[in-house]
Amino acid sequence: MWPRLMRVRRSGRASGAVALRLLPTAADCKQCGQVRYTKPARTTAPRQTVGPLSNPLPHELVMHRVGVIGGDGIGPEVITFAVSALERAAPGAFEFDLLPYSSAYTAQHGRSLPAGEFARWRSAYDAILFGACGDPAYPGSSFGRDVLLGARTNLDLYANIRPLRSFDHRVSPLKSDENVDLVIVRENTEGAYVDQGAWTDKGTPQEQAHDTILATRSKTERVIRRAFELASSRLRREVCLVSKHNAIRYSHGLWREAFWHIAPEYPDISARELLADAAAMRFVQAPEAFDVVVCENFVGDILSDLGAALIGGLGLAPSANLGDGSLGLFEPVHGSAPDIAGTGHANPLAAILTAAMLAHHVGEHDAARRVSDAVYEVAKSGPKTPDLNGKSSTQAVTGAVLARLG
């Protein structure tokens, strides 16, 4: 029997930390003739897709159910504080279930998830909040690949949304007058990460290795449309395609053709394209020139981390994994940072911003705005963790955010 459910209760501490209580799984309860897990009653009104980042429920009193995976390293720490921010910004609006998955769980059980878990998520939750993966105590663990890549594929979360916004020029390598306010829309299910290829004739002069970069027209078009829809909700209203179609002629050529086929459908949105190497240079030279950037998986992976460096590092970089359904998976992109796990030095702001994206997704727009504004104020003029050249603890930074939430 292993625990899954969590109820979040306020601890009364100034930091806003929460106390967690583990309960048995639904399957375990069924074994003893009881079913203690039931999905909360929903309003009968259908979901509507409003904007590229949200599939909001009607604005009524409704509890949003969120599956929480702390994962490895600093993940459980920062996700706990992200939950605190949602509790403070929207009291009673969320119910959180703590899921036990991690590299340690994978090693103990011989699998990263129970059979049918992705299907259960789809029916049980409005969102998944994920911490981090990667534990040096379990080298070669399949946890991250099974859960993150598995969720993207099995739940068809094809759009990886990564907003990047300047907070404090003192923690950025850019000049103080350069402002970053852009969003990278990265295709999440294809590209170079489909794990198709071969490595042959090892140890011989004929040794070869190759990987497939996969692009299908329908999946490419849907993420490009997602980028244009996102741009329509922003002030700049521009989409830039980034590719290497000059060298990767077939898959990136398909991206270019699909982009210019779709662009006329959005006459009020400016469209342009850059080669990936030129875009990387322009990210550094003139990041303020970008609004929404759309690209395939591999290119987006690189550009999003480069963009994070421009605003002060991965400790300020949230992300969302979204599809056309109601369920989304939300994760800060900083990784597990095992060297600082448990030291109280982890930056919680990316996780809290990720929680704000989650709130927006489920229709808690006011809470999302308040959390984002509070993080912006703290990052600009409040206490800072060591990664931002400060000396404050994870708890102190979170406390400053919560204080601004009232």
Tell me the backbone φ, ψ of residue 222, rounded to 5 degrees.
Answer: -70, -35
Q: Is domain 1-157+317-406 in CATH 3.40.50.720, yes or no?
A: no
Let me know: does 159 contact 226? Beta carbons within 8 Å: yes
Let me know: does 136 contact 104? Beta carbons within 8 Å: no
Residue 167's pLDDT band, with cuts at 50, 70 and 90, is confident
Q: Is the pLDDT of residue 99 over 50?
A: yes
DSSP string of 253-318, one letter each residue: HHHHHHHHHHGGG-TTSEEEEEEHHHHHHHHHH-GGG-SEEEE-HHHHHHHHHHHHHHHT-GGG--
Q: Is the pLDDT of residue 401 over 90?
A: yes
Q: Who wins on pLDDT, 396 or 28?
A: 396
Tell me the backbone φ, ψ of residue 131, rounded to 5 degrees.
Answer: -85, -80
DSSP string of 171-209, one letter each residue: GSSS-TT---EEEEEEE-SSBTTS--EEEESTTSTT-EE
Which active-site residues does the annotation give?
193, 244, 277, 301, 305
Classify domain 173-195+212-311 at the CATH topology level.
Answer: Rossmann fold (3.40.50)
Where exactly are the structural domains of the chain? 1-157+317-406, 173-195+212-311
Residue 147 to residue 316: CA distance in whole angstroms: 23
- 61-70, 146-155, 238-247, 383-392: which has the minimum mean pLDDT? 61-70
What does the mean pLDDT of the chain come to?
86
Q: Is the pLDDT of residue 15 over 70?
A: no
pLDDT at 62: 62
Residue 49 to residue 34: CA distance in whole angstroms: 36
Q: Is the pLDDT of residue 34 over 90?
A: no
Q: Do domains 1-157+317-406 and 173-195+212-311 have the same CATH topology?
A: no
- 4-13, 144-153, 332-341, 384-393: which has the minimum mean pLDDT? 4-13
Residue 360's pLDDT band, with cuts at 50, 70 and 90, is very high
Q: Is the pLDDT of residue 8 over 90?
A: no
- 4-13, 88-97, 179-188, 287-296: which has the minimum mean pLDDT? 4-13
Tell me the backbone φ, ψ of residue 146, rounded to 5 degrees.
Answer: -70, -40
Residue 350's pLDDT band, with cuts at 50, 70 and 90, is very high
Q: Is the pLDDT of residue 199 over 50?
A: yes
